[in-house]
Amino acid sequence: MCKKNGCRFTQKRGKVFLASCFLLLASCFLFATVDKAAPFEDMDARAILEKADRTRSPWSDFEMKAILQFEQRERMVEEDYRVYLKDGTKTLVAFLSPIKQRGNLLLMVGEDLWFYVKDTQRPVRITPLQRLSGGASYGDIARLNWSLDYIPTFIGKESADVGNTSYPCIKLELSADSKGATYHRILLWIEEGQYYPRKADIYLQSGKLIKTLYFTRFEITKGSPMNREIKFIDHLDNDKTTIMRFEDIETHPIPSNYFLKTRLPDLSREVIR
């Protein structure tokens, strides 16, 4: 009996041992799978970011009017720009108003950003983070594809509240990877399923939160969903709000000569016509 019992006990212990080994192996496999999942998630994160970018810049070549609204000395100010984008990497921004700035240009080719002042006839090198107007930086208007300049990492799933609506989102962390990047670090909420960017927290290298961007309006434009409005909250300036709207979108091949520095003096007149 005892023997039998002993045998049973031994058999039982053997089964427990085998089960434990199985569980251990399974755990190892599971953990190994989780470990291996990180790069997979990263790859996924890039694909997700690219999908989100496509709602901000849906075509390779297009032009649009950008309108910036912000408060200055207790009154609302509106500034207009015409934006030409080509191949996702080249941008020309013509300043239409205010009248003081009319004819000035912003040129981004690859990772380099230039500001051309019409009266000085000389392009000046600037950084994308420099303030354009209100709470917007030059890079906010010159670069609509974050996937070009940042390494995305999957953080998790978290809802984002935009106005009165809460959106289930995928949360990504974007780390600057090129000199064309406007910001050092971005936490970005992208709506699940739709892949619309909904919210972005912008951080300085020091870790300080400087801005929050809300992507507030999406419309089907020329057959593609497109972000048509961004709300900037400037945490460095009493949480003042700046609205950037995109209108008059036209899709057509943009001439390559719009992105040559030698052409800027001509373009400063030509594109404001």
Match 């000389």 to its residue by tokens. 122
Q: How far is the CB of 57 from another protein (least distance, A)?
A: 21
Among 3, 4, 125, 252, binds another protein (CB under 8 A): 125
Amino acid making up residue 50 = E
Alpha carbons 62 and 43: distance in angstroms, whole number: 28
Helix (H, G, I), strand (E, B) or coil at 172: strand
Alpha carbons 19 and 84: distance in angstroms, whole number: 65
Alpha carbons 78 and 70: distance in angstroms, whole number: 7
263 scored as a contact of another protein (CB under 8 A): yes
As a whole number of Å, the CA-based R_g of the chain is 26
73 scored as a contact of another protein (CB under 8 A): yes
Cα-based distances in Å from 167 to 93, 187, 190? 32, 15, 9
261 scored as a contact of another protein (CB under 8 A): yes
Q: How far is the CB of 81 from another protein (least distance, A)?
A: 15
179 scored as a contact of another protein (CB under 8 A): yes
Among candidate residues 227, 157, 171, 177, the one with its CA nearest the CA of residue 201: 171
Decide whether 96 or 249 has the Cβ nearer to another protein. Answer: 96
Among 10, 130, 166, 224, binds another protein (CB under 8 A): 130
206 scored as a contact of another protein (CB under 8 A): no
Among 99, 164, 206, 253, binds another protein (CB under 8 A): 99
252 scored as a contact of another protein (CB under 8 A): no
Binding residues vs another protein (CB under 8 A) = 73, 97-100, 102-103, 109-110, 112, 119-122, 124-128, 130-131, 179, 256-257, 260-263, 265-266, 269-270, 272-273
